[in-house]
Structures are given as structure tokens and as C-alpha cells.
Structure 1
Amino acid sequence: MGTVGRTGTRFSESTPTHLFILAFEFRNGKFVPVNLLPEFHKSKKTVCAAYSWLSPNYEPERTVKDIPLPTGYRRLESPPGSFQEWLRNLPLKPEKTPILLYTGELKPIQYLHYAIIEIDIGSEDLQQCADIIMRLKAEYHYSRGEFDMIHFKFLNGFKFEYSKWKNGYRLNNSQNGWIKTGDISDDYQGFTEYLYQLYYFANTKSLDSETIPVTTSEIRPGDMFVQGIKPQFNHAVIILDVAENKDREHIFIIGRGNTPAQDLEILKNPEGKSPWHRFKSGDSFQTAQWTFKKTDLKRFPE
């Protein structure tokens, strides 16, 4: 029998909000409590309350960290409860699941992905390449009750803060200020509405403007390749896992959304079999269907 759990909030206008998670696992004939925050429970039979979009009884067959490593490599250590660890524990859909567009139709190209992350797309063409990266960062902080950490820039430079949104503030008509029109709530439906507003007014260019460059030797899960300054076609992908060998040579797993909006896929490397990518000589870095510069490697500020 798997874990049973419940997430929720309790608040009033005069008191701070609190995220609480109650979870128990059936062991040796009785229910025992399990700790879900701030660290993520390791058992696959534990309902991962850290991934709020999943149904309460969902049990993943595998996660990102279950993807096999090449001989001679080990995964980089990640601090317990970190964004890096959270990304590694993202659940994967069953093997051979086809990749879908937001319309529910099959994506025409089905041979570039190694696996698909179990996360919804939505029914509109909104959750594209940069949007899914921002969503992952926001979902991580939401799962930990770190509401003040959820904020992103719009293309016009406006700082779009979830802490304002949950307290009932909404955008003015110019999308550059707040007006108090709603109720206080930090439930998941309201959080999802915040994300949809974000998708409308932020993009790859705005993501590029609020991330900081890192060198390839510093790469870690949660970093991203972002090209947001081209006049037309821009793109962004996120690093989901990183490993290294005894010579400190890195390999890494890439997650990608796209335009039109689609499932979050784990890309095969350009050789077409393994999901593990590596840097080669030169200034550029090749992924399926896109060439980045190594200087496009970015990170959210701490």
C-alpha cells in the first residue's frame, strides 16, 4: 500500500499563510509519518507532495535520477531539499510514451526524445520553452512554501511577484503595476492562474535578462541554455541532471519545451541514443534542432 497524504493551507487576513503537508506510509501493518518537507522522500511509493500537479495517489515508475549513467561517471552531489535534487526527482512517463502537443495531437517528430516528464502542458499554446523553465522554478518554491522566492520579469521589465498575487493583487491594464481586486489565497488553482499570467507577458528574452552567466565547468542541475537576444527565433532548455568522471569531465541531461507548447521532453544527444550530452571543443554546443553558444549557459540568481 502506498503513502497517503494531504496538502493545504490555513490562513486569515491577519495571520501569515502556512504550507503544511501531512503524510503517512503503511509499514509493517501500521501507518507511520514520513517527512516530505524540506527534503524529498526517496521512496517511489511515496506520494511526492513536492510536485503539486500530480494526483495524490500517483506513483512514478521512474524519475530523472533513474536514468542510467555511462561507465565511469557519477552524479554530482546535490544539497538535500535543493532545486537540483527536486529536478532529479521529477517523475517520468512510462517508456515509449509519445510526445504530445498542447492540442492533444501527436507531435510530428517523435524520435528526438529519450523520455517525457510527467507534467501537464495546459490546453493553450502558452507553456513553451522558457515558460516551462520558469514554471519548474516556481513549482519548486511553491512546494516549499517559499512564496517570496517566486517572481519573474515581464518583457517590459515589471517584476511579477507571486507574493502579491496570493494576497489578492492583480495586474493593472498596462501590466506594469498592481491593483487589489482578489481574495487572499495560496491554493494551487490560484498559483496556476499566476503562472498563466506569467506565460502571457514573459518569454525567452525576459528570462535571458534575469539570469546570470556561468562557465561550463560550473554546470549543475537547474542551469539553462538561453538564447533570447536574436531578432527572431530564440530558445531555452534546462539542465535536469549532471554527472562527472574522475577527470572532472561533465555530462548532463537536457529538458526541453518548445513552440508550439508540448510535453517537457528529455532530449537525446546529437548521436541519437543517449540522453547524456557533453561539451566538445569550440565555442558552440549542439542539441537536437538547435545550436547554442557555450556562453548561453545561465542560472537563476541565488
Structure 2
Amino acid sequence: MDQKLTLLTTESRNERTMHIDTADTAEILRVMNEEDQKVALAVQQVLPDVETAINFAFESLKNGGRLIYLGAGTSGRLGVLDAVECPPTFSTDPSLVQGIMAGGEKAFVKAVEGAEDKEELGEQDLRDIQLSSNDTVMGIAASGRTPYVIGALKYARSVGAKAVALSCNENSPISQVADLSIEVVVGPEVLTGSTRLKAATAHKMILNMISTTTMIKLGKAYENLMVDVHVSNFKLKERATNIIRKITNVSYEQAKETLELANNEVKTAIVMIKTGREYEEAKKLLEQAKGYVRTAIELSKN
């Protein structure tokens, strides 16, 4: 193994699990659970950096740019997972938050060997989506040394996009080529080097924070309810109807009827009920309010 690799926190041996191969099932589960409890505390330590990343993403999306997650292996899959959940949860266009994996889409379900080892491939994947200075790129690598991610972050900075590095090691190479580094140090894994465990959990928590908080700031929530959910099936229509009921205190029947009159647009239905306006007027209020439900309701009082 590369000597530099053995020095990484993510590759060091966990003293608590040296004899895990002889432990019974209950003991393995106990120690894994105890190690996992350290993850949230590690994330807590980097919240100021996460806040800065959210500000980058918010400014990008507000000004017509995109949030791009990019990585290899587990790191890449986590980015894709967070990205693909944005359209159904927040009614965003699929191009707005994107996940890019070394090796392409097929690498999501089957490892593509060697795809992460070339910097130029990371750059090329960003060129292929016409990366611009309005975008924010988040390069994800638990080790912090993946060439694919390094190449992508270098290219992102060269075109003026915000470049954010997310890793689990201090002073990582990807941090050196980014505008901002988030180094969430979770300590040695239960199985040495298996960063799909604590490292991946920490990264998923942070990616969830970034996308969810950014969407809240963009007006995708009212109180703590998802008011821009995409109504694409029966379950989601029921959820949307109940969201409208909780906010407006109308009957189930009125909420459902108004949702249908609003072309299944939850925000519009809420504004219709709250302001007593028809569909077109409610839509106009939301446009004036740049999509913020509270602001639209206030505007109706003028």
C-alpha cells in the first residue's frame, strides 16, 4: 500500500476493533453503533464550513447556476443519491442539482476500475455539462486524494465556479485546490479503510444538510413543511393535500379540490386558500414573491 495512504486517518487501524473477527454478532453491533455515534459530533465541528458551502450553493441556484456533486465510488454515489432526490422533494429541474460519478452512470451499480485515477477525466466531465462561473462544484472524496476529484476542482476554479472539497482527512490534497474545504474527521473505521461506514455516513449527513438548507432558503418550505413537493403519484398527492390542510386548516375535501384547481401546485393552492384569490392571481403573487409563500401572502394584503 502507498506509504502516504497508510498515514491517513481513514486508513488507520481502530484500536477498539482489533479483534472484531473473533467477536460475536452482538458485540460487533455494539461497537459499530458506538463508533457511529461519533459521526454527528464530528459533523458538528465543521458546521461553519458547511454553512459557507450552503451560501455558495444558494447564491448559485438563486442566480441561475447549479450545484454539482462529483466523486468516485461511494463518494460519487452519495452525491448522485442526494441530487436525484431533489426533484421529487422540491420540484426542482433535474439539471439544477446534479451528481456526477467517475466512470459514468454505469458506475453507480458496478465499480468501474481506474475511473478515479485520472485528473483529466474529472475536468472532462465538467466540460461535458458546460460548467460556468455561476455553478458550485462539490468534490467528494473520503480519502481527500482522489485524482478525478482533484482535476474537477482545479477546472471548476479555472472557470470561476465555486469549488468545495469534502473529505474525512485533515490537510487533504483536494482541500488544497478548492475555495473551501470541509474536512470532517470521524476517526478510524470499524473495518480499516472501509469508508462506506463512518466516513460515508458523515458525508451523507452533510450533503443532506447542504441540499435541504439551500432549498429551504430558496422558499421550498413553509414552516417545516415541504410546500414544493412534486405531485407525481397517489402517495404524493395525499401528502400534498395533508400539507395544505395543516397550513390552512381547511377540510380534506377543500384542500384536495384546491390542489386540483391549482394544477397540483402545492404553493399555489396554499396562497389561493390563504388569500382567497383565484389560480392566476395566486400564481402572480408567487411570481412577485419569487416563490416564497409567506411573502406572497403578505403581498396580497397590499
Query: Would the TM-score normalized by the shorter structure come out above 0.5?
Result: no
Q: Which has a greater percent of strand? A: 1
Structure with the bigger percentage of helix: 2
Larger radius of gyration: 2
